[in-house]
Structure 1
């Protein structure tokens, strides 16, 4: 005699499997983010050390400038693509494909190019 899983129990089993999978994805993301945070904290400590060295060096100069009066400059991040580069890449991908291309596939192509 075979035993059939009731639909209500089957639904709960599938729901639990999905939630468990979501937790494992979140755990992996958390581990990656914690690693990035540790790397950024190390980088920040190094930059703070360099800043302190520059501040001390400034006090040795004959012209006195208060380090606190100097406003911070933000570093500009380089573009992932030159102007018009993403459009060219997407057009090239669309022309090269023999069949239709889904949006997630185009996103993958642009992610690979960066």
Structure 2
């Protein structure tokens, strides 16, 4: 006696076989990528591990011993700083030197030469964060004054930005 495989079951069998093939392809690709990553990073990792071992050995020989296991790691910078030391502050002072209220985006443009519409959003947010952080530091020190923008709900960003100026008599 023979029986015919229902079409829905045949479809499931074919779908299962295709998914298994896709999984096998992805696993092979993953293994190749892992091998490439291992080859790329094994040398630098070994070099740093050897340097750490050397430093730990010297630390243990020092007359005032320090247990290297209690030292917390510090993450290195991934990117070079955008501005030289003091460059943001000098540019902000120059942009606000006339004593008038200046919008945040105008200060960003004066410091970096970037305009939001001409720059990648992620990079502009990063620069904006750097400039605003410095502005708030100057605000804490009493060097600048801030006039906050309006509510953000349903308004254009240009209407909600803060305005900044040098504190009369206390600036620079």
Give TM-score scaled by structure 2 length: 0.33
- The structure that has the greater radius of gyration is 2
Structure with more contact order per residue of length (Cα contacts < 8 Å, sep ≥ 6): 2
Higher helix share: 1
Q: Of Structure 1 and Structure 2, which has the larger fraction of its residues in strand?
A: 2
Q: Could you tell me the TM-score, scaled by structure 1's length?
A: 0.45
